[in-house]
Amino acid sequence: MEIRKVWALYYSATGTTDKAVNTIAEELAAKLDLPMERIGFARPAEREKEYSFTKTDLVVVGTPTYAGKMPNKLLPDFREKLKGGGALTVPVVLFGNRSYDNSLAELCAVLEADGFHTVAAGAFVGQHAFTDKLAEGRPDWDDKRQMREFADQIAVKAKNLTDIPAPVSVPGAPDAPYYVPEGTDGQPVKFLKAKPKTDLSKCCNCGACARLCPMGAIDPQNVAEVPGICIKCQCCVRKCTHGAKYFDDEAFLSHVAMLEQNFQEPKRNEVFL
């Protein structure tokens, strides 16, 4: 099979998935001596477009894990806006040191249904969006080393392909239910309606939170108001250089505390070829 270009396409609200996908794609492009192009898929305007590929493309597609699966509000865009056209693809998920559960299986299934052919897949640990206490600083230098080694293996496999590969086998079930968040008491907690608050004494009204919000949920005229759907991605919290955004929902904070108490042990990356 002839490959002419490598692509990196990613939904990355806080920048962690961005790092992983680009590290893998850059190494692939270098090993295959091919041009590479990046496609951000996080901003609403970016997801309004349709992205079509061909059988001469190799596309690394990445998303973070939300509640053990792909972000449900972004799922329609992954299904409707990406046209594989017979391209090879490498599905990649990031998870915040708890588990990727069924997210990788779901991403593989979605891309295969979109007309891509999965040639490899990987699940990598990234700093949890909710807290710095889980996988802080990851992906770190060793994670990136593993990503490059993974890319090297993919490059060898791609070079030796003479026909369409069988779909890569990964653990999990695409149609499995979402992980149910728990609080510190071990009981399920619900924080679907939780939205970020704004410390007006710190806010400089730069509007970055509104511009960067993946859901376009924040009012650009009054960033303290969040009339749209919030998916708790923490983009506004992480990207605010003044630390003005925060969550104070009790159920949400109890879940974060539970994660901090139970998932400190560093998890390993997993790859499939």
The rounded distance, in Å, linking the Cα atoms of 109 and 271 is 16
Residue with token string 């990136």: 144
pTM: 0.96
Exposure of 269 in the CB half-sphere (CA atoms within 13 A):
24
What are residue 208's phi and psi, to 5 degrees?
-60, -40
Domains and CATH numbers, the chain: 5-177 (3.40.50.360), 197-246 (3.30.70.20)
Instruction: Decide: helix, strand or coil at residue 76.
Output: helix
Q: β-strands 245-246, 121-125: how paired?
A: unpaired
Q: What pLDDT, on a 0 to 100 scale, did the predictor assign at position 162?
A: 92
What 113-116 contacts at long range (C-beta under 8 Å, 24+ apart), as own/partner pairs, is: 113/79, 114/78, 114/79, 114/82, 114/83, 114/84, 115/83, 115/84, 115/85, 115/86, 115/87, 116/53, 116/59, 116/61, 116/82, 116/84, 116/86, 116/87, 116/88, 116/89
Cα distances (Å, whole numbers) of residue 94 to 15, 72, 128, 173, 188: 11, 15, 9, 17, 23
How far lies 37's CA from each of 17, 72, 189, in Å?
16, 26, 41
CA 252, 253, 257, 260 torsion-angle sign: positive
Give the single-character DSSP code of 115. T
Q: What are phi and psi of 101, to 5 degrees?
A: 45, -110
Tens place of pLDDT per residue across the chain (273 aa):
899 999 999 999 999 999 999 999 999 999 999 999 999 999 999 999 999 999 999 999 999 999 999 999 999 999 999 999 999 999 999 999 999 999 999 999 999 999 999 999 999 999 999 999 999 999 999 999 999 999 999 999 999 999 999 999 999 999 999 999 999 999 999 999 999 999 999 999 999 999 999 999 999 999 999 999 999 999 999 999 999 999 999 999 999 999 999 999 999 999 999
Residue 42, SS3? Answer: coil
- d(CA 127, CA 15) in angstroms, rounded, equals 10
pLDDT of residue 6: 98
pLDDT confidence of residue 116: 98
Amino acid at residue number 126: G
